[in-house]
Amino acid sequence: MERQKHFLPQDFPALKNDSFLRAAQGQKTHYVPVWCMRQAGRYLPEFQETRAGQDFFLTCRTPEICCELTLQPLRRFPLDAAIIFSDILVIPQWTLMTYMIEGSGSSTMSKAKRWLYQHVDASHRLLRLLTDVIVDYMVGQVKAGAQALQVFESHAGCLGPAQFAEFSLPYLREISRKVKEQLKNESLEPVPMIVFAKDGHYALEDLSRSDYDVVGLDWTISPLTAREQTGNRVALQGNMDPCALYAPKERIGEIVKKMIEEFGTQGYIANLGHGLYPDIDPEHVGAFVEAVHKHSRNLKEQTWTGHLENSL
Amino acid sequence: MERQKHFLPQDFPALKNDSFLRAAQGQKTHYVPVWCMRQAGRYLPEFQETRAGQDFFLTCRTPEICCELTLQPLRRFPLDAAIIFSDILVIPQWTLMTYMIEGSGSSTMSKAKRWLYQHVDASHRLLRLLTDVIVDYMVGQVKAGAQALQVFESHAGCLGPAQFAEFSLPYLREISRKVKEQLKNESLEPVPMIVFAKDGHYALEDLSRSDYDVVGLDWTISPLTAREQTGNRVALQGNMDPCALYAPKERIGEIVKKMIEEFGTQGYIANLGHGLYPDIDPEHVGAFVEAVHKHSRNLKEQTWTGHLENSL
Residue of A nearest to B112 (CA): A243
Per-residue pLDDT tens over the stretch A58-88: 777 788 888 899 899 999 999 999 887 665 4
Measured distance CA(A36)–CA(A274) in Å, rounded: 8
Closest by Cβ to A241, choosing from B160, B248, B279 = B160
Average pLDDT over residues B109-119: 82
CB contact under 8 A, B118 and A247: yes
B239 upstream amide cis, omega within 30 of 0: yes
Measured distance CA(B149)–CA(A275) in Å, rounded: 37
Residue A92 contacts residue A154 (beta carbons within 8 Å): yes
Whether residue A191 is predicted with pLDDT greater than 50 in this model: the reply is yes
CB contact under 8 A, A199 and B202: no
The shortest C-alpha distance from A50 to chain B (Å) reads 26
The chain A residues in contact with chain B (CB within 8 A) are 105, 107-108, 110, 113-114, 116-118, 157, 159-163, 199, 201-202, 219-222, 225, 241-244, 246-248, 251, 255, 273-274, 277, 279
Measured distance CA(B274)–CA(A160) in Å, rounded: 12
Instruction: Name the nearest CA neighbour of A108 among B274, B171, B102, B93.
Output: B274
Measured distance CA(B69)–CA(B59) in Å, rounded: 10
Q: Hey, how many other C-beta atoms are within 10 angstroms of the C-beta on A105? A: 10
The whole-chain average pLDDT of chain A stands at 86
State the Cα torsion B237-B242-B245-B251 to the nearest 10°: -60
Phi and psi angles of residue A12, each rounded to the nearest 5 degrees, phi first = -65, 145
Strand locations in chain B (E): 149-153, 193-197, 214-216, 235-240, 268-272
Whether residue B191 is predicted with pLDDT greater than 50 in this model: the reply is yes
The shortest C-alpha distance from A199 to chain B (Å) reads 8
The size of the A-B interface in CB pairs under 8 A is: 90
Q: How far is CA B154 from CA A76, B191, B310, in A?
A: 37, 22, 45
Q: Which of A121, A220, A262 to mutate to test the interface with B (most CBs of B within 10 A)?
A: A220
Residue A139 contacts residue A182 (beta carbons within 8 Å): yes
**What is the Cα B175 distance to its own chain's centre?**
15
Instruction: Name the nearest CA neighbour of A73 among A95, A40, A109.
Output: A40
A271 upstream amide cis, omega within 30 of 0: no
Residue of B nearest to A155 (CA): B220
* Plot region of B238 (φ>0 → left; ψ -120 to 50 → alpha; else → beta): left
Per-residue pLDDT tens over the stretch A200-240: 999 999 999 999 999 999 999 999 999 999 999 999 999 99
Average pLDDT over residues B108-134: 83
Residue A78 contacts residue A291 (beta carbons within 8 Å): no
Residue B83 contacts residue B75 (beta carbons within 8 Å): no
The shortest C-alpha distance from A12 to chain B (Å) reads 39
CB contact under 8 A, A117 and B220: no
Q: Long-range contacts of range A225-228, CB-CB < 8 Å, 24 or more positions apart?
A: A225/B202, A226/A263, A227/A263, A227/A264
Sequence spans of domains, chain A: 25-84+240-305
The shortest C-alpha distance from A86 to chain B (Å) reads 23
Measured distance CA(A237)–CA(A239) in Å, rounded: 7
CB contact under 8 A, A241 and B202: no
Residue B222 buriedness (CB in 10 A; 0-12 / 13-18 / 19+):
middle
Q: CB neighbours of A29 closer than 8 A, spacing ≥ 6?
A: A19, A22, A23, A265
Measured distance CA(B2)–CA(B143) in Å, rounded: 12
In the chain, the amino acid numbered A203 is A
Q: CB neighbours of B194 closer than 8 A, spacing ≥ 6?
A: B24, B148, B149, B150, B151, B212, B213, B214, B215, B216, B237
What pLDDT sits at residue A200?
Answer: 94
Percent of chain B having pLDDT more than 90?
56
SS3 track for chain A: CHHHHHCCHHHCCCCCCCHHHHHHCCCCCCCCCECCCCCCCCCCHHHHHHHCCCCHHHHHCCHHHHHHHHHHHHHHCCCCCCCCCCCHHHCCCHHHHHHHHHCCCCCCCHHHHHHHHHCHHHHHHHHHHHHHHHHHHHHHHHHCCCCCEEEEECCHHHHHHHHHHHHCHHHHHHHHHHHHHHHHHCCCCCCCEEEEECCCHHHHHHHHCCCCCEEECCCCCCHHHHHHHHCCCCEEEEEECHHHHHCCHHHHHHHHHHHHHHHCCCCEEEEECCCCCCCCCHHHHHHHHHHHHHHHHHHHHHHHHHHHHHHC
The residue ranking higher by pLDDT, A127 or A212, is A212
Residue B114 contacts residue B158 (beta carbons within 8 Å): no
Q: Please, which pLDDT band fits residue B280 given cuts at 50, 70 and 90?
A: very high
Measured distance CA(A249)–CA(A232) in Å, rounded: 33
Please state whether beta strands A235-240 and A214-216 pair in parallel, antiparallel, or not at all (unpaired): parallel
Measured distance CA(A69)–CA(A90) in Å, rounded: 18
CB contact under 8 A, B160 and A248: no
pTM value is 0.86
Percent of chain A having pLDDT more than 70?
86
Find the helix packing angle between B94-102 and B120-143, rounded to 10°: 120
ipTM: 0.80
Phi and psi angles of residue A51, each rounded to the nearest 5 degrees, phi first = -80, -15
Q: Which of A101, A243, A277, A288 to mutate to test the interface with B (most CBs of B within 10 A)?
A: A243
CB contact under 8 A, A105 and B107: yes
What pLDDT sits at residue A127?
Answer: 86
Concatenated DSSP letters for B10-71? GGSPPPS--HHHHHHTT---SS--B--TT-SSTTSHHHHHHHTT--HHHHHT-HHHHHHHHH
Per-residue pLDDT tens over the stretch A229-285: 999 999 999 999 999 999 999 999 999 999 999 999 999 999 999 999 999 999 999
The question of whether A76 is a catalytic residue gets the answer no
How far the first Cα of chain A sits from its last, in Å, is 60
Asked which of A173-182, B48-57, B278-287 is least confident by mean pLDDT, the reply is B48-57
Helix (H), strand (E) at residue B229:
helix B223-230
Residue A55 buriedness (CB in 10 A; 0-12 / 13-18 / 19+):
exposed
Q: Which of B241, B252, B262, B263 to mutate to test the interface with A (most CBs of A within 10 A)?
A: B241
Q: Which of A22, A51, A80, A268 is catalytic?
A: A51
Measured distance CA(A123)–CA(A132) in Å, rounded: 14
State the Cα torsion B87-B92-A155-A247 to the nearest 10°: 130
Residues in chain A: 312
How far the first Cα of chain B sits from its last, in Å, is 60
What pLDDT sits at residue B22?
Answer: 95
What pLDDT sits at residue A10?
Answer: 62
Whether residue A301 is predicted with pLDDT greater than 90 in this model: the reply is no
Contacts of residue A118 in chain B, CB cutoff 8 Å?
Answer: 246-248
